[in-house]
Homo-oligomer: A and B are copies of this chain.
Amino acid sequence: MADQRALGVRIEDVARAVGVSRATATRALRGQGRIAPATRERVRRAAEELGYVPNLMATELAAGGTGVIGLMLRDAANPVYGQLFSCLEVAAVRAGVELITVTIGSDPRGERQVQALRRLLGMRVAGLLVATGGVDSTQLEPFAAEVPMVRVGRPEASARVFAESYDEEWHGHQLAERVRALGHRRVVVLGAAPETSYGEHLRAEALAGALAGLDVRRVATGPDPTDGVGAALAEVDAGATAVLCASDVRQLAVLRALATRGASASTTGWDGLMPGVDLLGLTTVRMPVEEAAEAAVARLAGLLADEPLSVPTHRSWRGELVPGRTLTEPEPR
């Protein structure tokens, strides 16, 4: 197998070992162009023996660009992104495209995002998948001009950036209907400011909109899951019977606080991706991550293959309501 200085082995060394030219060795290794089967075998064997590892930089430079597509991902510690990441990977394998990932942790101003994008572009990726909410259309636009770009998991304003997102409007309706049907009259919606988390902001808006007619108290959260929980509980003390959260992580924080204070109220969340949702009895909406991921990769693959685009620029996918024990009829007071 690979011997000591295998990384120093160039294709030239392989060629020489077999007694052919570099071009022939290339053909043998890439399996393209006319070449004698026997030669090909000899070259392959030699490459194997020498532990030849092609230098991708050189390969891609010479070949002019790479077929790889870049993925910009947000913090994977969040189960939501971890799941999305995984689905994107699966989809990529299925579509036969290579994925190269760059992640950014929290990044309030979107600077690291832009930097990460440049890094990806520097690698001359063939396409870009943007799976992070923190960067907005205006920051994306200039790059979209260079390479096809698909945003996943968040809607997009620009017509030049494609998007496969979630139908949060509809999700909000599902949740709202349930809350309303159970008889809640005064509820608190825990949402984020657009800068904090665009996704949660959107969800809270959708939810509040769908709850029109009820007494809806809005509470803004910060980046930390526990932000705003205190304010929400105060609303509960003041008579609200349900705390509606824009993510399951927030919902957990609320449940924790409720338990600690010995208080009780209905709660709902959003995402439905945590391993124990069922056991915890969370009421939430399961995001259609698989579909969105699959669609995003398929679209990008189509774009790269120069297929005429047959689907709308922006699409959104519907998940499903997960009824749980956390949402019940309001308790009589």
Interface residues of A (CB under 8 A from B): 1-7, 51, 53-61, 66, 75-79, 81-83, 85-87, 89-90, 93, 98-103, 105, 118-119, 121-124, 142-143, 145-147, 248-249, 252, 255-256, 259, 274-276, 278-280
Contact B101 A89 (CB under 8 A): no
Complex interface: chain B residues within 8 A of A145 (CB):
2-4, 6
Q: Give the residue among A1, A79, A102, A280 with the most B Cβ atoms within 10 A.
A: A79
CA distance A296 to B121 in the complex (A): 28
Contact B57 A146 (CB under 8 A): no
Checking B66, B87, B121, B280 against A276 with a beta-carbon cut-off of 8 angstroms, the contacting residue is: B280
Q: What would 18 A/B residue contacts be, using CB atoms closer than 8 Å?
A: A3-B145, A4-B145, A5-B146, A7-B146, A7-B147, A53-B122, A55-B61, A56-B119, A56-B124, A57-B57, A57-B58, A79-B79, A82-B85, A93-B105, A99-B103, A101-B101, A274-B274, A276-B280
Chain B residue numbers with a CB within 8 Å of A90 are 105
**Chain B residues near A275 (CB-CB < 8 A):** 79, 248-249, 252, 274
Q: Are A83 and B89 in contact (CB under 8 A)?
A: no
Nearest residue (CB) in B for A80 is B82
Task: Find chain B residues with CB under 8 A from A280 CB.
Answer: 276, 279-280
**Distance in Å: Cβ of A58 to nearest Cβ of chain B:** 5
CB pair B85–A103 under 8 Å, yes or no, is: yes
Nearest residue (CB) in B for A146 is B7
Q: A79-B82, A86-B76, A279-B256 are in contact. Are A55 and B1 (CB under 8 A)?
A: no
Q: Which of B86, B99, B143, B274 contacts A2 (CB 8 A)?
A: B143
A142 vs B49: C-alpha distance in the bound complex, in angstroms?
12
Is the CB–CB distance between A51 and B7 below 8 Å?
no
Distance in angstroms from A314 CB to nearest chain B CB is 23
Closest Cβ of chain B to A244, distance in Å, is 18
B101, B248, B249: which contacts A103 (Cβ < 8 A)? B101
* Contact call B7/A124, Cβ cutoff below 8 A: yes
| Minimum C-beta distance from A4 to chain B (A) | 6
Q: Which residue of B lies closest to A101 (CB)?
A: B101
Q: A89-B105, A280-B276 are in contact. Are A1 and B142 (CB under 8 A)?
A: yes
